[in-house]
Chains A and B, each alone.
Chain A
């Protein structure tokens, strides 16, 4: 049977010598193709005597199986080599910078972000957001708020005026967001809980004042809200807003025409280098004014001060933004310098929430 073993030897050599899948296929055809050498041998089995077949059959079939196995092995090897070669070819420079994407560049102004933070805090306590016009009448900005005509408190407001109309009345740019309180009380029956964020204007410009700034005021009117509730609200607000476990506050009696009793509120802090930290330290920083709504203001909006009562407070949005986020100056808030905005601004998906935290 040396012819069979000779054939096998030569076929296996040819299989192992095939350098590509195409060459291997050619070997397969010469061996196992329709007219291949092994196929031809298999065909001879039919014309053999049973005894011959019994002897030759296993030999020829064995030859076929071994050649087929060698072909499969070789094919796997060649595919593996081809893949390795391809992978060795396929390389990219991973250090090339990519386009950063618009959401990486976009920013929310600190004022908008802080208003969203205020909204998250106060909405949870059932406060709605009230808004009103920037161009106000003297009535809403002063008279309804118990500013007597000619009173020094009025002059202290550095009001921007428009020219008098045909009736001699001149509108003003609101000097505070308190007119929104009046409009709210006129338009809605108690219980009332609103905060009023918005732009305000005073004819004043220096290092620490800009002619336009932002205020937020809060208003609670019902039949029982008293100064103790006001203290609680402000303490809870300061803890939530500044994201500290404790704050110490100091209430100093003060004067606002539209509240009685009135107070200014300082918050205890430590100054370390350029930083301000709340809930520690020995310094006091004034952050807001507050008080019980003046009976005259309630009367001016048609509420009986013996039946209804409540409180209000107000503070500078720009100022609390500076205190929390450490901007040293107010003026750049309104200069639209892209470098400042990119640095102090917030990313579009920095969404303040009580569940996830106001800031991250």
Chain B
């Protein structure tokens, strides 16, 4: 909402400075977005008089001028403007002046060898409209030495405030003045609206043609005919006001409606009565009806829109924009002035559907003061008579202006209860009264009647806000919030929150860098990773590749890794811990923790190094990430089954599913399916681990924090190596299990320390070398006892896997 300071002063008698007014606007909730103060910006530009203009000795197009700037002796200025001539009054900038139109600061200089002390300017150089083929041509009576901006009437700052959607009353200068007056910035002097006597009945009838229940679409419609007007450009004061706030003057009749829209927040419309055929009918549009609107565009309407029609069809889109056909121009002699009330919701939807944003729509969808319906016509009539002459008819009012007043019981204690603000009851009462509320009752609870222009005020909390807003939030004392219970703060994080935090720190400690990628992926990506549910497809995605909620963190991370690789950083290790979506219910959203390694970005080191490294990442890097995470989160990994093969997007032979059982899958790890990488335009080597944190079991509740007792053996452990030759597809895990099963009490560790296929081992077989540690508990083992255990181990592995001991 833009307005100029002088416009504000039509409604507010005040001695306050501009800065005081701006501060007050911010303080009372009318946030100042911008102030355009031309007088300040153009303070250095003065009116000057060219005394002489001689040809420049070294340049055909330049003149050397002697200029009276109103201060001291005339100064010499070199000027290239074609109209620089002796006797011209123009605009002068002394050295050191910033030229806004060129964004330069001028200095004393020599132009083609002739000294120049300043600059004579064109409107463009001052960032002003006007003929800029040469320098300013001011009238002969322009006072030399005076500020150009002040002389030209540009010293009227334009203030732009952001009005929150609950404050339609502040969409008029009068409403803003009322707020400022309440805040103590002056007194409200908005003139009362004096009715203009009409002569004779309005011959144009208004018919509100609505099905029962639909009358709410247009509760009231006021119309007046003014005959014999002379339309043309509006006077300078009106044009200046509109131009200052960015509106284009059209003609007096139209400018009057725009003026009242901003002056009082009351949108109006004028029809050229000569072009209206028959009665004005207010009704829902018929599907397929079209209207050529004042913006020159044709809109196709439907029953959701309300129009004002005549025998020709729709003439105006109600509350939003008039029609081209019945618009007023310089030939208009009889004008119909409309001031109507429209349903906010219908206006909002029509405007949105048709993509029309107008000052009228903006106000109607927020709520226009119904009490201004008839006064709106009167205000406009007065201005029409003043500017265009003519004879008004009586005002027709179809429908009825609804009573917007509402009485709210306000216990005065509410102010203190909700805000903590100490304010005297009389002061609070005075604030409400200054804002137009009628306050009655002397007891602890007042009856407060809200004014017609404040539809937002519905209950006592709204009244408390009004008191707080005007009294000033600065006057609320900061008050420490007591703890709910005294003492040391209890832990607040849930198990999943703790695990989410820990997962991030764990992955980062393994050299992975945390990424945050979009929650949406493309439909194709969603489908590749087990998603694509129609319930998770956005109806209005911002881009085609951000259309579906992600079923997995993988597509985002794989693409991110590839982008890094494309920039020359192929050895990248990324992770993300974030939400993934199985369906559109709250339960369908889970938290996944994914680690991704690319190139040679292994935990041990990245790239070639004299101390080892440089190998490509592979499935086992991912497995290590997965198990490190599970261990850090307190999961007993002994119970985790590693089942060959992950979900479809994994390499079938180089991936695995992690589970406690077939129905308790917790994640997967491995390398990715080549087809999936191809579909994502990504190249490996890539290895990923994903764990769904929600699926991990909670730790058992224990009565104490004490650890189990530590039992140490007095006897030294001993180790025996066994190299088993097995078929190449035998799983090492099965060998380990068989060893474990052979001797449950004494084996404390089993390690696989070598896998070998090649010369010395027959084709299709491999050697798996294991080191088994025995920890005696009660006595030193004798050689025959050790031999017996070894024998059992070899037999057990042979039985389970067909192994033979390597010779």
Q: Which residues on the B side are within 8 Å of A103 (C-beta)?
A: 508-511
A193 to B482, CA, bound (A): 12
* Dominant secondary structure at the A interface: mixed
CA distance A309 to B516 in the complex (A): 36
Given A336-B517, A345-B514, A227–B481 Cβ distance below 8 Å? no
Within 8 A of A (CB), among B429-461: 459-461
Task: Name the A residues within 8 Å of B604 (CB-CB).
Answer: 99, 102
**Given A96-B610, A252-B29, A336:B468 Cβ within 8 A:** no
Q: Are B540 and A203 in contact (CB under 8 A)?
A: yes
Provide the residues of chain A in CB contact with B543, threshold 8 Å: 205
B384 located at the interface, meaning its Cβ lies under 8 Å from any Cβ of chain A in the complex: no
10 interchain pairs (CB within 8 A)? Answer: A99-B604, A112-B514, A132-B586, A133-B589, A255-B167, A261-B464, A292-B418, A335-B560, A336-B516, A341-B514
B534 CB-CB contact with A under 8 Å: yes
- Cβ of B712 within 8 Å of any chain A Cβ, yes or no, is no
Which residues of chain A in 337-360 are interfacial with respect to chain B, using CB atoms and an 8 Å cutoff? Answer: 337-339, 341-342, 345, 347-349, 351
Contact of A150 among B348, B464, B535, B540 (CB under 8 A): B348
Q: Which residues of A contact B418 (CB under 8 A)?
A: 226-227, 261, 292, 309
What are the residues of chain B within 8 A of A335 when measuring CB–CB? 560, 563
B557, A228: Cβ atoms under 8 Å? no
- Give the number of chain B interface residues (Cβ < 8 Å): 106
A92 at the interface (CB under 8 A from B): no
Cβ contact within 8 Å between B563 and A107: no
Interface residues of A (CB under 8 A from B): 96, 98-109, 111-112, 116, 119, 123-129, 131-135, 149-153, 155-156, 160-163, 165, 170-171, 173, 191, 193, 199, 201, 203-205, 211-212, 220, 222, 225-229, 231-233, 235, 250-255, 260-264, 292, 294-295, 305, 309, 333-339, 341-342, 345, 347-349, 351
Interface centre among A99, A228, A333 (most CB of B within 10 A): A228
Q: How far is the CB of A345 from chain B (nearest CB, A)?
A: 6
Name the B residues within 8 Å of A294 (CB-CB): 461
Contacts of B707 in A (CB 8 A): none
Are A99 and B605 in contact, CB atoms less than 8 angstroms apart? Answer: yes
Q: Is the beta-carbon distance between B603 and A102 smaller than 8 angstroms?
A: yes
Which residues of A are found within 8 Å of B483, using beta-carbon distances?
A: 125-126
Q: Which residue of B lies closest to A109 (CB)?
A: B514
Chain B, residue nearest A98 (CB): B611
Q: Chain A CB within 10 Å — which of B417, B483, B484, B603 has the most?
A: B484
**Residue from the set A112, A124, A250 with the largest chain B CB neighbour count within 10 Å:** A112
When distances are taken between beta carbons in the complex, the residues of chain B under 8 Å from A201 are: 519
User: Is B306 an interface residue when CB atoms closer than 8 A count as contact?
Assistant: no
Closest 7 CB pairs of A and B: A253-B29, A228-B420, A102-B511, A255-B164, A336-B560, A106-B508, A261-B465
Contact A199 B519 (CB under 8 A): yes
Q: Which residues of B contact A161 (CB under 8 A)?
A: 538-540
Report Cα–Cα, A132/B490, bound state, in Å.
Answer: 22
CA distance A35 to B366 in the complex (A): 123
Q: Which residues of A are found within 8 Å of B508, using beta-carbon distances? A: 103, 106-108, 347-348
Minimum Cβ distance to chain A for residue B88 (Å): 43
Cα–Cα, bound, A336→B315 (Å):
55
Q: Which of A116, A152, A263 has the most CB of B within 10 A?
A: A152
User: Does A229 lie within 8 Å of B165, measured CB to CB?
Assistant: no
B residues sitting closer than 8 Å to A (CB atoms) are: 26-29, 31, 164-167, 344-345, 348-349, 352, 365-366, 416-421, 459-462, 464-465, 468-469, 473-474, 476-481, 483-485, 489-494, 497, 501, 504-520, 534-543, 546, 549, 556-557, 560, 563-564, 567, 569, 572-574, 577-579, 581, 584-586, 588-589, 603-606, 609-613
Further 7 A-B residue pairs, CB within 8 A, beyond A226-B479, A232-B480? A96-B610, A103-B510, A252-B473, A260-B465, A336-B516, A336-B557, A338-B569
> Which of B469, B513, B534 is close to A105, meaning CB atoms less than 8 Å apart?
B513
Contact between A129 and B538 (Cβ–Cβ < 8 Å)?
Answer: no
A100 nearest CB across to chain B (Å): 8
A contact residues around B478 at 8 Å (CB): 228, 231-232, 235
B29 touches A112 (CB 8 A): no
List of A residues within 8 angstroms of B459 by Cβ = 295
Q: In the docked arrangement, what's the CA distance between A160 and B509, Å?
A: 36
* B479 adjacent to A229 (CB under 8 Å): yes
Is B609 touching A228 in the complex (CB atoms < 8 A)?
Answer: no
The CB with the most chain A CB atoms within 10 A, among B473, B578, B581, is that of B473
Nearest CB in chain A: distance from B505 CB, A: 5
Q: Which residues of B contact A263 (CB under 8 A)?
A: 29, 473
Complex Cα spacing A250 to B504, Å: 36
Closest Cβ neighbor of B512 among chain A residues: A106
- In the complex, the chain B residue whose C-beta lies closest to that of A334 is B516
Q: Quick check: A109 and B515 within 8 Å, CB to CB?
A: yes
Nearest residue (CB) in A for B25 is: A252
CA distance in complex: A255, B344 (Å): 18
| Residue pair A338, B505 in contact (C-beta under 8 Å) | no
Contacts of B573 in A (CB 8 A): 105-106
Interface centre among A165, A225, A226, A264 (most CB of B within 10 A): A226
Complex: A100 Cα to B613 Cα, angstroms: 12
Residue of A nearest to B577 (CB): A112
A108 touches B505 (CB 8 A): yes
Once the chains bind, are B465 and A106 in contact (CB under 8 Å)?
no
Q: How far is the CA of A133 from the CA of B591 in the complex (A)?
A: 11
List, in ascending order, chain A residues with CB within 8 A of B535's CB: 162-163, 165, 171
Asked if A150 and B344 sit within 8 Å, CB to CB, the answer is yes
Q: Which residues of A contact B504 (CB under 8 A)?
A: 108, 112
CB distance from B175 to the nearest CB of A (A): 15
Instruction: Say yes or no: A226 contacts B417, CB within 8 Å.
Output: yes
A105 contacts which chain B residues (CB < 8 A)?
511, 513, 573, 606
Question: Which residues of A lie under 8 Å from residue B518 when comparing CB positions?
Answer: 211-212, 334
| Nearest B residue (CB) for A341 | B513
Quote the shortest CB–CB distance from A98 to chain B (angstroms): 7
- Decide if A211 touches B492 in the complex (CB within 8 Å): no
Residues of B within 8 A of A348 (CB): 505-506, 508-509
